[in-house]
Amino acid sequence: MNRMQDLHKFIKLTGDQAKLDAKANGTYIVYKTSDGHLVKEYSNGVIERIEDSELQNE
């Protein structure tokens, strides 16, 4: 059980560090929401959903 708790802790810390890095560099982070959508989260708190059409390569 401790291994799972440790894993969840490291995942959370990684996400927190990504947010700090994005804020420092004026960029955004990308992640998948619990309902399965990909989103961009900007350092100012704005969350923008990524549409499927944006994901396709030309």
Q: How far apart are CA 49 and CA 46, in angstroms?
A: 10
Instruction: State yes or no: pLDDT of 55 exceeds 80.
Output: no
Could you tell me the residue range of the domain that residue 8 belongs to? 2-55
- As for how many domains the chain has, the answer is 1
Q: How far apart are CA 9 and CA 25, in angstroms?
A: 24
Residue 1: pLDDT band (50, 70, 90) is low
Q: What is the pLDDT of residues 3-54, one digit of tens each?
A: 999 999 999 999 999 999 999 999 999 999 999 999 999 989 999 999 877 7
Q: How far apart are CA 13 and CA 19, in angstroms?
A: 10
53, 35, 44, 41: which is closest to 15 by C-alpha?
41
Q: How far apart are CA 31 and CA 25, in angstroms?
A: 18
